[in-house]
Structure 1
Amino acid sequence: MLFVGDDWAESHHDVELMDAKGRRLAKARLPEGVAGMARLHAMIGEQLGQDAEDVEVIVGIETDRGPWVQALIAAGYTVFAVNPLSVARYRERHGVSGAKSDAADALTLADMVCTDSYQLRPVAGDTDQAEAVKVVARAHKTLIWERTRHTQRLRHALRDYFPAAVEAFTDLDAGDTLELLGKAPDPDAAARLSLNQIRAALKRARGRDVDTKAAAIQAVLRADHLGQPAVVTAAYAATTRAAVAVLTTLREQVKELEKQVQAHFGRHPDAEIILSQPGLGPILGARVLAEFGDDPDRFATAKCRKNYAATSPITRASGKKKAVLARFVHNDRLIDALMTQAFAALNASPGARAYYDQLRARGAGHNPALRQLANRLVGILHGCLKTRTLYNETTAWSHRVEKTAA
């Protein structure tokens, strides 16, 4: 075996080559891109000589994506994506001074894959279809998070100078709200809005009970509220126009990416199985597929998938003390999708509802019970994917019914 540590940066890679006995064979700083990859292949080729076909090349790097990683996989190397936190802890095994350099990190990565590769997870062999789903699903979710952040910033600004808007508009990122705030971003302009203008905005947003809502909005906007001096209000109004423009664009792009997510996910061979799961639709299902991937050999057992999902608990035991805790180090996107699925499954699956109610009856809080339900649903999904079968309500929960009856 030949072990390679690759400490990557945006413009270059520090690499270290090591043999099975831990001896340094070569090191270099390589440029990012085709030229750097060619030099890396040449360095490895020099060390392998005539035995290239009989030697396995194992690479440790702190990322699992990008053209460089894909080129390593395409070359036939075994690539381990190592968590940077693990690298930092491993570095402390050899010294506590806190010294750090890119070349030293490359040596640390080579040493990790040389001594502890059995503890590390290789880069998943996901298909191109799954990678495409991941790209659009993550971008879609990121835009939703950005829309929420910008909406909260807008709310805080309005509270400071235009509290009537916060009271009048219950949903600040709705189309009618953004249209009206764009026309009247300050209290005086908002008070001059006519009923017809408000009605028209509500109708374009396909709102219901338009006349009643328009009258209520106008009444709030024309009521007396505390405010700021005129010059300060004008400054705030300028920032509100900018925020409205950003939110309007985000709304449009979220809708466009939603179409892309549905299109890419619908073409994936696992889509039918994932959509059969309770609480999963095209968008949520795409996020679950994106974060788990579709490599059939990535998760050997349901427990492995649950641990990766961070829905399974961890145990901390020392002496007479023992505590079972939730996992706080996790993939935010995956746990968000799974917890949302669990909540939706309460209405979609009688078995899921019964399991959740049993947990609550035993004293579990809402979130812990939901997390345990999510953990159970991950196991069900794993079984369906392994056997290539659709979800069946009776099969999924029959053992729970038998235990309860006993």
Structure 2
Amino acid sequence: MKSARNTLPEEPVNAVTAGLDWARDDHAVSIVNARGREIARCTVEHSAAGLRDLVTRLGRHGVGEVAIERPDGPVVDTLLTAGITVVVISPNQVKNLRSRYGSAGNKDDRFDAFVLADTLRTDRARLAPLTPDTPASVALRRACRARKDLISHRVAVANQLRAHLRNAFPGAVGLFAELDSAISLAFLTRFDTQDRADWLSPRRLATWLASVGYSGRTDAAVLHARLVAAPRGATGPDATTNAQITHALLAVLTTLVDQIKTLSSQIADQLAAHTDQHIFTSLPRSGTVRAARLLAEIGDCRARFPTPEALACLAGAAPSTRQSGKLRTVNFRWACDKQLRDAVTDFTADTRHANPWAADLYQRARARGHDHPHAVRILARAWLYVIWHCWQQGTAYNPDQHNALQRLLNPNGQQAG
């Protein structure tokens, strides 16, 4: 099953096109006619009144299509609500298109708006109108990206706390498996200095661990031995000063951990309510967050990816080939959706531990001399073909219907089921 690509009409509505260069405080707008001449130019504020004025100005000139550099935000929502077709042209493309109109290459918002408008007029066959996802997918994408950002902050704060403790209280650094785990945070809250940790004995530590519900498998005597074997930290007034820094970092880290849990719970609820959740949760090792990220980044608009190749290219899983004369090079694809690539490679890297077909593809790529990231991208491209077909057909992944997997499992040709 292949969905037809959403295309622009051969001629723009009313023979005019517009370009909008988005900025934080105001937006430059340019309107060109069928001959490529600019017939209107303005700047609108990024406010409710300014966006209403934008729609009015566009309507006054009969504009039905607007080119812009970003696919989301209040400006795009306003244009779509007004029934105006939105076409997204990436900033990298705009940067290269400037050379059409001069060699200086200077960056100017008003000029970029004209470049966007004129490109929409001349390159219509290579452009496609923006087809937004449903509100459920948009909300899930925002939640997943917010959680990912919080995790990055958590890692940074945990590293900062670890660096501080190596000087102030080294024994706490390697005591538990993870410094940002619940038991580690509880320990540092109670025993924030070397002086307080010196009070502990194997029995006292065991009693405290039981009081906080420690479920780890490491015996209290082993943990106490780690604490004693570590270099001693600061004591006395110096320890008290360092403890204030420890508690400040603990407060930030604890808040981040709690908010990540809250967002994870919210993501699980949003995923369960989504109409496409059965497709992505059926994938091996997808879990909840991974399935949600895949769904959120791919979206639910089937027309966005008319072929599996289109999905693989945007995800950065397909290499970039360049050829000039007899010289042909295959390079890493830098121009892609970084969020989508991260979601796809995170998923595919783990499937090799659960799916024999994925493990075989990965191992054959490594045997050809590719490093781990390259092998994962090769595997990601193969998985995207599978995901695309499931996504287009609205069906869950079924290993028994995966022909390549079945051929590997049953080399004699006996299909499962």
Query: TM-score by structure 1 length?
Result: 0.88
Q: Is the deviation greater in 64-73 or in 337-346?
A: 337-346
| Corresponding residue of 2:384 | 378
* Residue in 1 that maps onto 2:297: 291
Matched with 2:163 is 156
**Residue of structure 1 in register with 2:217 after alignment:** 209
Aligned residue type for 2:46: E
Question: Could you list the runs of 5+ residues in structure 2 that have no partner in the other structure?
Answer: 1-11
Q: 1:291: Cα distance to partner?
A: 0.8
Q: 2:190 aligns with which of 163, 183, 188?
A: 183
CA–CA separation in structure 1 for the residues paired with 2:313 and 2:168: 48
What letter is aligned with 1:208? G
Contact 1:351–1:397 (CA<8 Å) still a contact in 2? no
- The structure 2 residue matched to 1:8, chosen from 1, 4, 22, is 22
- 2:41 is paired with a residue whose SS is strand
**CA–CA separation in structure 2 for the residues paired with 1:239 and 1:405:** 65
Q: Superposition pairs for residues 83-102 of structure 1, below 5 Å?
A: 83-102=90-109
1:270 and 2:276 equivalent?
A: yes
- The alpha-carbon deviation at position 138 of structure 1 amounts to 1.4
Query: Structure 1 residue 43: deviation in Å?
Result: 1.7
Matched with 2:144 is: 137
Of stretches 261-270 and 72-81 in structure 1, the one that deviates more from structure 2 is: 72-81
Q: Give the direction of change, closer, same or farther, for the CA distance of 1:30–1:224 in structure 2 (3 Å limit).
A: closer
C-alpha displacement of 1:208: 2.4
Higher RCO (C-alpha under 8 Å, 6+ residues apart): 2
Instruction: State the Cα distance separating 1:294 from its structure 2 match.
Output: 0.6
The answer (yes or no) to whether the contact 2:195–2:236 under 8 Å persists in 1 is: no
Unaligned runs of 5+ in 1: 49-55
Structure 2 length normalisation: TM-score? 0.86
Matching of residue 361 in structure 1 with residue 367 in structure 2: yes
Range with bigger deviation, 287-296 or 237-246 = 237-246
**How many residues end up aligned between the 2 structures?**
397
Partner of 2:54: 40
Q: Secondary structure in 1 aligned to 2:352?
A: helix
- Distance in 1 between the 2:230 and 2:179 partners? 21
Query: CA contact under 8 A between 1:179 and 1:201: conserved in structure 2?
Result: no
Report the equivalent of 1:326.
332
1:147 is aligned to 2:161: no
Letter aligned with residue 176 of structure 1: I
Which of 390, 399, 406 is the matching residue for 1:393?
Answer: 399
Provide the rounded CA distance (Å) in 2 between the counterparts of 1:300 and 1:239.
54
- CA positional deviation for 1:225: 1.8
Question: 1: CA distance between counterparts of 2:330 and 2:406?
Answer: 22
Query: Does the alignment pair 1:196 with 2:204?
Result: yes
**Percent identity over paired residues:** 33
Kindly state the Cα deviation for residue 252 of structure 1 after the two structures are TM-superposed.
1.0
Contact 2:168 2:233 in 1 (8 A): yes
- Specify which structure has the higher proportion of helix: 1
AA matched with 1:89:
N
Q: Which amino acid aligns with 1:18?
A: V
Question: Secondary structure, in 3 states, of the residue corresponding to 2:317?
Answer: coil
Tell me the distance in 2 between the aligned counterparts of 1:205 and 1:20. Answer: 73
Moved more, 192-201 or 381-390: 192-201
Q: 1:53: which partner in 2?
A: none
- Are the equivalent residues in 2 in contact too, given 1:14–1:106 (CA < 8 A)? yes
Contact map agreement 1:191 1:221 (CA 8 A) in 2: no
Q: Is the 8 A contact 1:187 1:221 kept in 2?
A: no
Provide closer, same or farther for how the CA distance between residues 15 and 189 of structure 1 changes in structure 2, counting only shifts above 3 A. Answer: same
Deviates more, 1:101-110 or 1:263-272: 101-110
The offset of 1:347, in angstroms, is 2.9
| 2:83 maps to amino acid | G
Per the alignment, residue 51 of structure 1 pairs with: none
**What amino acid maps onto 1:26 in structure 2?**
A
Aligned residue identity for 2:50: G
Tell me how far 1:126 sits from its aligned partner: 0.7
Question: What is the DSSP-based 3-state SS (H/G/I as helix, E as strand, rest coil) of the residue aligned with 2:107?
Answer: coil
In structure 1, distance between residues paired with 2:250 and 2:339: 27
Cα distance in 2, alignment partners of residues 350 and 287 from structure 1: 23
Equivalence for 2:66: 59
| Ranges of 4+ aligned residues in structure 1 off by more than 4 Å | 226-235, 402-406
CA RMSD of aligned residues (A): 2.7
Of 26, 47, 57, the residue aligned with 2:40 is: 26
1:200 and 1:115 map into 2 onto residues whose CA distance is: 72
Whole-Å separation in 2 of the counterparts to 1:169 and 1:128: 42
Which amino acid is 2:217 matched to? D
Query: Residues 398 and 193 of structure 1: is their aligned pair in 2 closer, same or farther, counting only changes over 3 Å?
Result: same
Mapped to 1, the partners of 2:184 and 2:66 lie a distance apart of 53
Mapped to 2, the partners of 1:87 and 1:235 lie a distance apart of: 54
3-state DSSP of counterpart to 2:402: helix
Task: Quote the Cα distance in structure 1 between the aligned partners of 2:316 and 2:406.
Answer: 23
Tell me, what secondary structure is at the counterpart of 1:348?
Answer: coil
Maintained 8 Å contact 1:33/1:68: no
Q: Tell me which residue corresponds to 2:225.
A: 219
2: CA distance between counterparts of 1:84 and 1:311?
21
